[in-house]
Amino acid sequence: MKYDFDQVVNRRGSGCYKWDSESPLPVVDGPQPEDNVTNDIIPMWVADMDFQVAPAIREALQRRVEHGVFGYTLVPDSYYQAIINWFRRRHDWQIEREWIMYTTGVVPALSVIVKAFTQPGDQVILQTPVYNCFFSSVRNNGCEVVESPLIPASSFSPSWKYTMDFADLEAKVRHPRAKLLILCNPHNPVGRVWTREELARIARICKENDVIVVADEIHNELCFRGRRYVPYGTIDTHNAIICTSPSKSFNTAGLQNANIICARPEWREKIDRAINVNEVCDVNPFGVVALEAAYNESEAWLDELCEYIYQNYEALCQFFARELPQLSVTPLEGTYLVWVDIRPTGLGSDELTQRLLKEGRVQVNSSTMYGCEGYIRLNIACPRSQMMEGLRRIKKVVDQL
């Protein structure tokens, strides 16, 4: 490989949320830790990567820093062109310039879209388990979360993967108060990369029932071994709103930059109004510079990154098969987030998560925050040596149960 993803970067002391937090996030309905997290914890929780960004991004940011003035930012035409060129070249999706609206992040984007297209009391459908911030984006706007649970196959089947319950989804979207479906594509936390056929079926169901599809596609570049991300915008251009960002794929989340892509001008007008009401209408200069460097100059780095992450996943699967065969690992088609079935331990997700933290000094996410019980989520976007030490700590705790 040209790029060194095995390099361990010391993130402690850098004001890093993942490494420097004094205590873990509150656990829903679970026991709280009695002591603070100290610097011997291996964090496998927050969804950012422990790799340095692509060289082209670092160089572009250094040039911008040397300028020395960091006032309000005018987003240039080259920013929009970088997005258009990237999605046309890499994903065969033709985006028009006027479809793109920038904001500070995908979660703020989801919140303004919910605000723009719902009234308090309306229903928003989530396919659970799903990214925890979806719940807050809906509830903070006074709307009702309606869950359409995904279907997990048998944990020990070679073809084990989550699928959509289309019968349940169709029943949920028929409700007169159902206004939006928030789609996670690729899916966090279960690691699915939805197929064109699955997305087309969603499009048909939602269009027939006048439900708008809002697609969070923040993990879109992280697909592995023949799995191909299908932009929802290529399935249904006019009944969907797409949220994208280079932040997950290029590890630039702290630069706070995302884009809403919407083909319908009357919808864009509503979204723009909500962006300004929520006051998330400005981005910082570094996010703009990083996006252009990512999409224009960092494709080779991204391809090597995806291969390295998948090799991490293969190493993790081998470890579980050899050392923790009672637990099963969901097939990883996309993202760098591994979903593990821990029900054979006899412990709830919150309890095991806390024991891993306190006894094993490794921090993971409990599945309760995503809307289900019996799983944990592991972030494997880190040097392999670091990941393997985290896995050894997990084994030590599980072996003591």
Q: How far is CA 36 from CA 5, 29, 349, 362, in A?
A: 30, 19, 20, 13
**Do 120 and 84 sit in the same domain of this protein?**
yes
Q: Count Cβ atoms below 10 Å from residue 170 Cβ, excluding itself.
A: 17
Please name the residue that has the structure tokens 């920038």.
102
Final residue belonging to a domain, choices 298, 322, 337? 298
> Cα–Cα distance between 236 and 17 in angstroms, integer?
37
Arithmetic mean of pLDDT, 359-382: 98
Q: CA separation (Å) from 13 to 46, 130, 270, 396?
A: 17, 31, 42, 28
Q: Residue 168 corresponds to which tokens in the numbers above? A: 């349940």
Residue 321 lies in a domain: yes
Percentage above 70 pLDDT, the chain: 94
Using CA atoms, how far apart are residues 148 and 168, in angstroms rounded to an integer? 6
Helix axes 166-173, 196-208, angle to 10 degrees: 20
Q: What does the alpha-carbon distance between residue 290 and residue 52 come to, in Å, rounded to a whole number?
A: 13
Please identify, among 298, 329, 358, the residue that sits at the C-terminal boundary of a domain.
298
The boundaries of the domain holding residue 235 are 57-298
Specify if 196 maps to a domain.
yes
pLDDT at 109 over 90: yes
Give a yes or no: residue 7 inside a domain: no
| 358-373 mean pLDDT | 98
Residues 249 and 272 grouped into a single domain: yes
Residue 3 domain-assigned (yes or no):
no
User: Is the pLDDT at 294 greater than 80, yes or no?
Assistant: yes
Co-location of 249 and 260 in the same domain? yes
3-state DSSP call for residue 274? Answer: helix
pLDDT category, 32, cuts 50, 70, 90?
A: very low
* CATH number of the structural domain spanning residue 384: 3.90.1150.10
CB neighbours of 176 closer than 8 A, spacing ≥ 6? none
CATH number at 245 reads: 3.40.640.10
340 and 392 inside one domain:
yes
Tell me the pLDDT of the chain averaged across its residues: 94
Same domain, 272 and 374: no
Q: Which candidate, 166, 245, 241, places its Cα nearest to that of 201?
A: 166
User: Does 146 share its domain with 197?
Assistant: yes
Tokens of 242: 């797409």
pTM: 0.93
Tokens of 61: 């940011």
Amino acid occupying residue 362:
V
Clarify whether residues 209 and 288 are in a common domain: yes
Q: Mark 338-356 as b/e (b = at least 16 C-beta within 10 Å).
A: bbbbbbebebbbbbbbbbb
In a shared domain, residues 392 and 257: no
In a domain, 259, yes or no: yes
In a domain, 326, yes or no: yes
Flag whether 336 is in a domain.
yes
- Enter the DSSP assignment of 262: -
Q: Are residues 120 and 218 in the same domain?
A: yes
What confidence category does residue 22 fall into, taking pLDDT thresholds of 50, 70 and 90? low
Q: Is the domain of 211 the same as that of 345?
A: no
Alpha carbon of 86 to those of 248, 253, 299, 336, 346: distances in Å?
16, 19, 9, 21, 47
Overall domain count for the chain: 2
Tens digit of each residue's pLDDT (9 = 90 or more) over 321-330: 999 999 999 9
Is the domain of 173 the same as that of 126?
A: yes
**Over residues 269-293, mean pLDDT:** 95
Residue 9 lies inside a defined structural domain of this protein? no
Give the pair of three-digit tokens for residue 65. Answer: 């820093």
Cα–Cα dist 43/390, whole Å = 8
- Same domain, yes or no: 178 and 317: no
Q: CA torsion, points 242, 91, 339, 131, in degrees to nearest 10?
A: -10
The span from the CA of 50 to the CA of 381, in Å, is: 6
More confident residue, 55 or 22: 55
Which of these three, 277, 298, 319, is where a domain ends?
Answer: 298
Examine the pLDDT at 39 and tell me if it is beyond 50.
Answer: yes
**Nearest by Cα to 96 from 270, 296, 259, 252:** 259
- In this prediction, residue 398 carries a pLDDT of 98
For residues 191 and 333, the answer to whether their CB atoms sit within 8 Å is yes
- Give the pLDDT confidence of 135-189 residue by residue, as tens digits: 999 999 999 999 999 998 765 555 578 999 999 999 999 999 999 999 999 999 9
The CB density around residue 21, as the number of other CB atoms within 10 Å, is 16
